[in-house]
Amino acid sequence: MAMRAAKRTNGAVPQALYQRIRADLEDKILSGRWPPGHRIPFEHELVETYQCSRMTVNKVLSGLAAAGIIERKRRVGSFVAKPVVQSAVLHIPDIQAEIAKRGEAYGYELIARKRRKATHDDLERLGMERGCDVLVLSCRHIAKGRPFAYEERLINLDVVRPAAEIDFTNLPPGTWLLGHVPWSEAEHQITATLADDDARQALALKKPAACLVVERRTWRKNKVITSVRMTYPNDLYRLTARFTPAGRA
């Protein structure tokens, strides 16, 4: 499939060939067609596929490696990176896997899904100044038949385009992101607060109750991937971290 001719749509500036090749490879990775550990075609194979120079292919692969999307191994090849699942103190949990690991029945319900241009509040949550398209999701996680967590999530579609094609009716967004989207940095904020009306309804709380709220943002290099707010009834979730002093011999 030749891709040498530059694309121009609606008077837009033509996209460079290496950008289109990179976008094509990213789509294969983020859509799940190339899962973590999948071997990327060798450079000479990509040169033949895209009818371009080896220098162009090397530039694409170097950019993907710098973004943490692929891993390049000398004399072996390039592979889709395995998503990082550990931060310095707190890990990013896959709630479905955590509940199943405890031997409890897991349930999941998608409450709302909407794609839109980011509002001012969305950008504040994402920690961004520039506008973007976002996927807005709210859902409920269930353990042993009881509401376990209420999830409110924003996904930056300018970074994670394939998410727009996932309806998440039966697939928790956190599970999908951990399985498909490598990240390089995360930020947690943990508070105890009274549940708002949406959280109370989702968690089936009959009266105002204190809840544990974990807010998290993740980045790939300097680009925000997602912002999520998880609300847990205070008797169902505990955060534990064991670590040593930094730099201690």
Contact 39, 79 (CB under 8 A): yes
pLDDT reported for residue 87: 37
Residues 6 or more apart in contact with residue 74 via CB below 8 angstroms: none
- pLDDT tens digits for range 45-61: 999 999 999 999 999 99
Q: Which CATH superfamily, name and number, covers 95-233?
A: Chorismate lyase-like (3.40.1410.10)
Contact 226, 156 (CB under 8 A): yes
pLDDT reported for residue 122: 94
Cα 175–chain centre separation? 9
The mean-pLDDT minimum among 58-67, 77-86, 193-202, 205-214 falls in 77-86
pLDDT reported for residue 240: 65
The mean-pLDDT minimum among 61-65, 88-92, 220-224 falls in 88-92
**Domain regions of the chain by residue span:** 17-80, 95-233
Contact 213, 125 (CB under 8 A): no
Fold of 17-80: Arc Repressor Mutant, subunit A (1.10.10)
pTM of the predicted model, to two decimals?
0.67
Answer yes or no: same fold for 17-80 and 95-233: no
pLDDT reported for residue 28: 87
- Say what percent of the chain tops pLDDT 90: 48
Contact 177, 198 (CB under 8 A): no
List, as own/partner pairs, every contact residues 63-69 make where C-beta atoms lie below 8 angstroms and the sequence separation is at least 24, other chains included. Answer: 63/18, 63/22, 64/22, 64/25, 64/26, 66/221, 67/182, 67/220, 67/221, 68/182, 68/183, 68/184, 68/220, 68/221, 69/26, 69/29, 69/182, 69/220
Token pair of 189 as six digits: 């904020």
Contact 177, 135 (CB under 8 A): no
What's the pLDDT band for 116 if we cut at 50, 70, 90? very high
Contact 93, 101 (CB under 8 A): no
Q: Where are the beta strands (DSSP E) in the chain?
A: 70-73, 77-80, 106-117, 133-143, 146-156, 185-194, 210-220, 223-233
Q: What is the rounded average pLDDT for all residues in the chain?
A: 84
Is the pLDDT at 24 greater than 60, yes or no? yes
**What are the start-end ranges of the H helices in 8-119?**
17-30, 43-50, 54-66, 95-101
Mean pLDDT in residue range 136-143: 96
- pLDDT tens digits for range 146-182: 999 999 999 999 989 899 999 999 999 999 998 888 8
Highest-confidence segment of 50-54, 189-193, 231-235 = 50-54
Mean pLDDT in residue range 21-40: 86
Contact 225, 205 (CB under 8 A): no
